[in-house]
Amino acid sequence: MATIDERIENTQKEIEENRKLYEEGRRRYENAKALYEQAKAAAIQAKSYAGTLSNKQLSADAALAAAATLAPDPSTFNKQANQPGANSEQIRQNLSNEADKKLKVAEEKKKKAEKEVQQLTKFLEAVQTKVDDLTKRIGNIFKKKELKQTVEASERKSDTVVKQDVKKIKINDARAIAKKNSSAIRSLAKAAALFIISKLLNREVQRLAKIVQQLTDLVDRVNEQILNIQTKQDVLKARVVRNAALVELNKAERQITKIRNTIRTLERILRIISIVVRILLLIPTPATPGTVKKITDAIMTLDSITVMLGITREALNGLVIEVQYQKSRLLPISDIIDKAIDNDLSPNEINALVAQGAVPNVSYKGFTFAIYEENDPKFVVDGNKRRYAVALDRSGFIVLRTQPSFTLNSDVLIEDLKLQIDERNLEA
């Protein structure tokens, strides 16, 4: 299981890889932009040239004279215009037909170059969005690391404060003070109880954090089993473990929601008690110095609990994000499990379904490759979904996959798989 520091390092590497993709895409964009401008200029020239030759308002001689200044290739134009035995109208008609063909070619080149520029523009935007998302993710990881350290420090401080407050609220002292100011004692008792509850909540959050970390390993195992399907029995087993993983993830999400609701209730109670305790200091009634000190201590305790609940709430928000992330990691290819069971597919049919995204005419050390789109609405940019590549052995079974990416270049994903094959010294 990856530690927080390892996750930070892996995310930083992913950011660097996407920045390299962006720089490469930027270079390709500049080249495509230059080619587009050239194609655009050539199309304009071809349009003017063809339009001049076909202009019926001009005589044949006038059209030829005007077209000579617009001809893409003056030497070829002069050679054809000076054909022996041909009159001006025939020459113009021949050149006009040829000009129309050149205009059509120029317009097609311009359209193709423009489409390339548009695709690369979307690619750059998608990669930039990916970098922004990763930057935000790494910020959340840093925040979770800081929250964890803050919670641990608060835990250590809480142990000391609770011991001190327990000593203060002894039965005899409580009875003696209750005779002078029963309201203050009730507020102190409630504050101490809330403090202990909030401490227990923090411990529960730490327990949930460990469960979420264990769920990360569970998702890894589920994905591994899905990728290793070879028989109908494997399909049934894969669906069982996938459903079990979803149950555990949903269960953790419900537990987190329950604690968040409890925190909201505690915060409402705290606000009421805090108002009551502060009012006690303003009432002009006789009170012993000890009573005033108890009320002041209660206010400090309430403030400490408020801070602790805020830290707990932030930690829970981080856990919710983590659970949702782990749910999104369940491979989109797991949809094939349901299709295979519902339609009683054979292993060969399952392999054919997996191979629908196969990349033709590409093989490496006996492996073939396929490209799939991720079916997750959270990761769609301008209608573009993330894609990932898989490597299939000679039997058509998936043995490797890449991480989902917004890249439009399938070669980038396939090269990643080839690198994994070389590093692991695999053979199909």
**pLDDT top residue among 347 and 124:** 124
pLDDT over 80 (residue 288) = no
Of 138, 160, 189, which residue constitutes the final position of a domain?
138
Q: How far apart are CA 315 and CA 205, in angstroms?
A: 7
pLDDT over 60 (residue 119) = yes
Give pLDDT, residue 411.
86
Of 314, 330, 346, which residue constitutes the final position of a domain?
330
- Could you report the per-residue pLDDT of 165-185, keeping only the tens digit for each? 555 554 444 444 444 445 544
Coil, helix or strand for 302? helix
Is residue 181 domain-shared with residue 322, that is, in the same domain? yes
Count CA atoms closer than 13 A to 110's CA, side-chain side: 17
- Could you report the per-residue pLDDT of 201-253, keeping only the tens digit for each? 667 777 877 887 777 777 777 767 766 667 767 777 777 887 888 788 888 88
Residue 156, in any domain of the structure = no
Residue 393, in any domain of the structure = yes
What range does the domain containing 131 cover? 4-138
**The model's pTM:** 0.36
Residues β-bridged to residue 368: 363, 392
Is residue 118 domain-shared with residue 34, that is, in the same domain? yes
Is residue 199 domain-shared with residue 311, that is, in the same domain? yes
Number of domains the chain contains? 3
Is residue 326 domain-shared with residue 189, that is, in the same domain? yes
CATH, residue 255: 1.20.1050
Give pLDDT, residue 418.
92
Is residue 19 domain-shared with residue 93, that is, in the same domain? yes
Residue 161, in any domain of the structure = no
Residue 266, in any domain of the structure = yes
Is residue 341 domain-shared with residue 326, that is, in the same domain? no
What percent of the chain clears pLDDT 90, i.e. is strictly above it? 3
Give pLDDT, residue 174.
43
pLDDT level of residue 284 (50, 70, 90 thresholds): low
CA distances from 376 to 220, 331, 335 (A): 18, 10, 12
Give pLDDT, residue 335.
61
Is residue 319 domain-shared with residue 301, that is, in the same domain? yes
- Yes or no: say if 231 and 405 are a contact pair by the CB < 8 Å rule: no
